[in-house]
Amino acid sequence: MKKSSAAPLQELVRILSADQVLTSPADLLTYDADGLTQHRAIPRAVVLPHSTDQVARVVRWCHERGVPFVPRGAGTGLSGGALPCESGIILELARMNRLLEVNVDERFAQVQVGLINQELSEAVREHGLFYAPDPSSQSACTIGGNIAENSGGPHCMKYGMTTQHILGATIVLPEGTVTHFGGPHSGLPGLDLLGLFVGSEGTFGVVTEALVALQKIPACTRLLFVAFRELVNACRAVGKMVARGMEPAALEMIDQTTIQVIEQSVFACGLPEDAGGVLLVELDGLPTQVDADSELVREISSELGAFEIREADDAAQRLQLWKGRKAAFGALGRLKPDLYVQDAVVPRSKLPEILNTMMQIARKHDVLLSNVFHAGDGNLHPNISFDGRDAHEARRVAEAGKEIMQACLDVGGALSGEHGIGREKRDFMPMLFSARDLEVFADVRRVFNPQGLCNPDKVLPGTKVCQEFRQGIEIPGVTTP
Amino acid sequence: MTTKDQLLRYDRTLDCVHCGLCLPVCPTYRLHRKESASPRGRIYLMRSFSESRLEETRDSIREIDQCLVCRACETVCPSGVEFGEMMEITRDLVEESDARAPFPRWLKRMFFRNVLPFPRRLKLVATALAVYQRSGLPTLLEKSGILHLFGEDTVLRNALMPPVPSMDRRRDLSEVHPATGNPRARVGFLVGCVAQELLPDANRAAVTVLQRQGCEVVCPEQRPCCGALPMHFGDLDAARELARTTIRSFPDAMDAIVVSAAGCGSAMKDYPRLFEESDPWHLRATEFAAKVRDFTEFLIDLPWHPPTKPLPIKVTYDAPCHLVHAQRIVEPPLAILNALPGVELTPLRGQDDCCGAAGLASISSPGQSVKLLEGKMSAVRESGADVLVTANPGCQLQLGTGCREWCPEVEVLHLAELLERFDQHSHRQEIEQSS
Ligand SMILES: Cc1cc2nc3c(=O)[nH]c(=O)nc-3n(C[C@H](O)[C@H](O)[C@H](O)COP(=O)(O)OP(=O)(O)OC[C@H]3O[C@@H](n4cnc5c(N)ncnc54)[C@H](O)[C@@H]3O)c2cc1C
Ligand code: SF4
Ligand code: SF4
User: Per-residue confidence at A469, pLDDT binned at 50, 70, 90?
Assistant: very low
Distance, CA of A346 to CA of A304 (rounded, Å) = 22
Whether A335-427 and A220-330 are alike in CATH topology: the answer is: yes
pLDDT at position B279 is 93
Can you name the residues that pair with B343 across neighbouring β-strands? B313
User: What distance in angstroms lies between residue A161's CA and the mean position of ligand 1's atoms?
Assistant: 13
Look at chain B and count its residues: 435
Task: Using CB atoms, pick whichever of A30, A34, A333 lies closest to residue B44.
Answer: A30
Q: Which of B22, B29, B68 to mutate to test the pocket of ligand 3 (most atoms within 8 A of CB)?
A: B68
Interchain contact B48–A (C-beta under 8 A): yes
Give the whole-angstrom CA distance, residue A381 versus residue A401.
Answer: 11
Atom of ligand 3 nearest to the CA of B74: 6
Q: Residue B371 above 90 pLDDT?
A: yes
The C-alpha atoms of residue B336 and residue A274 are separated, in whole angstroms, by 38
pLDDT in tens, A100-113: 999 999 999 999 99
B42 with B20: CB under 8 angstroms? no
Is residue B131 less than 8 Å (CB to CB) from chain A? no
Res A406 pLDDT > 50:
yes
Instruction: Please answer yes or no on whether B79 and A92 come within 8 Å at the CB atom.
Output: no
Q: In sequence order, what are the beta bridge partners of A338?
A: A386
Q: Which of B81, B83, B86, B325 to mutate to test the pocket of ligand 2 (most atoms within 8 A of CB)?
A: B81
For residue B303, whether the previous peptide bond is cis, meaning omega lies within 30 degrees of 0, is yes
How many residues make up chain A in this entry?
Answer: 481
Q: Which of residues 153-182 of B touch A (CB under 8 A)?
A: none
Domain A10-94+440-468 has CATH 3.30.43.10: yes
Q: How confident is the model at residue A472 (pLDDT cuts 50, 70, 90)?
A: very low
Q: Helical H runs in B315-434?
A: 321-324, 331-338, 361-364, 366-383, 393-406, 415-434
pLDDT of amino acid B99: 79
| Nearest Cα residue to A441 out of A249, A274, A200 | A200
Contacts of B24 in chain A (CB under 8 A): 116, 118-119, 139-140
Nearest residue in B to A385, CA atom: B17
Interface ipTM: 0.90
Cα A349 versus chain centre, distance: 24
CB-based contact B35 A337, cutoff 8 Å: no
Work out the average pLDDT over B121-144: 78
8 Å CB contact between A241 and A251: yes
Helix axes B58-66 and B39-50, enclosed angle (nearest 10): 130
Percentage with pLDDT > 90 across chain A: 76
**Res. B138: pLDDT tops 80:** no
In this prediction, residue B171 carries a pLDDT of 80
| Averaged pLDDT, A391-410 | 92
Tell whether the model's pLDDT for residue B403 goes beyond 70.
Answer: yes
Contact A469, A4 (CB under 8 A): yes
Residue A188 has pLDDT above 90, yes or no: no
pTM flag (> 0.90): yes
Using an 8 Å CB-CB cutoff, list chain B residues near A48: 33-34
Higher pLDDT, A52 or B100: A52
Q: Ligand 1: which atom is nearest the Cα of residue A151?
A: 11
Give residue B97's pLDDT. Answer: 82
User: Per residue in B233-288, pLDDT tens?
Assistant: 889 999 999 999 999 999 988 999 999 999 999 999 999 999 998 999 999 999 99
Q: Which of A347, A324, A302, A332 is nearest to A78 (CA)?
A: A332
Query: Whose Cα sits closest to atom 5 in ligand 3?
Result: B39
Task: Enumerate the H helices of A198-312 as residue ranges.
Answer: 231-243, 256-264, 287-303
| DSSP code for B114 | I
Average pLDDT score over residue span B74-83: 91
Q: Check whether A306 has a pLDDT greater than 70.
A: yes
Residue by residue, what is the 3-state secondary structure of A30-44? Answer: CCCCCCCCCCCCCCC
Q: How many contacts (CB atoms, under 8 Å) link A and B? A: 134
CATH fold label, A220-330: Alpha-Beta Plaits (3.30.70)
Question: What are phi and psi for residue A463, nearest 5 degrees?
Answer: -85, 155
Q: What pLDDT does residue B409 have?
A: 95
Which of A74, A262, A330 is the closest to B23 by Cβ? A74
Q: Can you give the pLDDT at residue B8?
A: 54
Average model confidence (pLDDT) for chain B?
89
Q: Which residue has the higher pLDDT, B127 or A361?
A: A361
Q: Which of B4, B25, B35, B54 to probe by mutation at the A interface, max A CB count within 10 Å?
A: B35
Among the bound ligands, name the one nearest to the CA of residue B66.
3
Instruction: Please check whether residue A92 touches B, CB under 8 A.
Output: yes
Q: Which residues line ligand 3 (CB under 6 A)?
A: B 26-28, 39, 42, 67-73, 83
CA of A74 to the centre of ligand 1 (A): 7
Dump pLDDT digits (tens) for A189-241. Answer: 788 899 999 999 999 999 999 999 999 999 999 999 999 999 999 999 998 99
Cβ distance B77 to A332 less than 8 Å, yes or no, reads no
DSSP helix/strand/coil, A338: strand
Whether A140 sits inside 8 A of B60 (CB atoms) is no
The CATH topology of domain A335-427 is Alpha-Beta Plaits (3.30.70)
Mean pLDDT of A250-277: 93
Grouping H, G, I as helix, E, B as strand and the rest as coil, residue A188 is: coil
Q: What mean pLDDT do residues A437-462 have?
A: 94
Cβ–Cβ contacts within 10 Å for residue B120, how many? 9
Cα gap B76→B23, rounded to integer Å: 10
A414-428, B39-53, B112-126: lowest mean pLDDT where? Answer: B112-126
Q: DSSP assignment, residue A162?
A: G
**B16 in contact with A at a CB cutoff of 8 Å?**
yes
Question: Does residue B176 surpass a pLDDT of 50?
Answer: yes
CATH for A99-216?
Answer: 3.30.465.10
Q: Report in angstroms the alpha-carbon separations of A304 from A124, A233, A289, A300.
A: 40, 6, 23, 6
The answer, yes or no, to whether residue A152 has pLDDT greater than 90, is: yes
Instruction: Answer for the pair B340, B418: CB distance below 8 angstroms, yes or no.
Output: yes
- Residue A473, pLDDT > 50, answer no
Work out which ligand 2 atom sits closest to the CA atom of B18: 5
- The span from the CA of B376 to the CA of B374, in Å, is 5
Decide if A333 and B79 are in contact by the 8 Å CB cutoff: yes
Share of chain B above pLDDT 70, in %: 96
Burial category of B319 from C-beta neighbours within 10 Å (exposed 0-12, middle 13-18, buried 19 and up): buried
Residues A399, A364 contacting (CB under 8 angstroms): no
User: Using the beta-carbon criterion (under 8 Å), do B44 and A29 form an inter-chain contact?
Assistant: yes
Closest residue, chain A, to B17 (C-alpha): A333
Q: Mean per-residue pLDDT for A150-159? A: 92
- Please indicate whether residue B398 or residue B196 has the higher confidence score (pLDDT): B398
The 8-class DSSP code of residue A103 comes to: E
Name the closest ligand to CA B81: 2
What are the φ and ψ backbone dihedral angles of A348, each rounded to 5 degrees?
Answer: -50, -40
CA of B71 to the centre of ligand 2 (A): 12
CB contact under 8 A, B20 and A141: yes
Q: How many CB atoms lie within 10 A of CB A57?
A: 18
Q: Is pLDDT of B298 > 60?
A: yes
Confidence label for B3 from pLDDT (cuts 50, 70 and 90): low
> Which of A213-217, B59-63, B249-253, B407-411 bottoms out in mean pLDDT, i.e. has the lowest?
B59-63
Closest in A26, A35, A92 to B19, CB measured: A35
The residue ranges of every structural domain in chain A are 10-94+440-468, 99-216, 220-330, 335-427
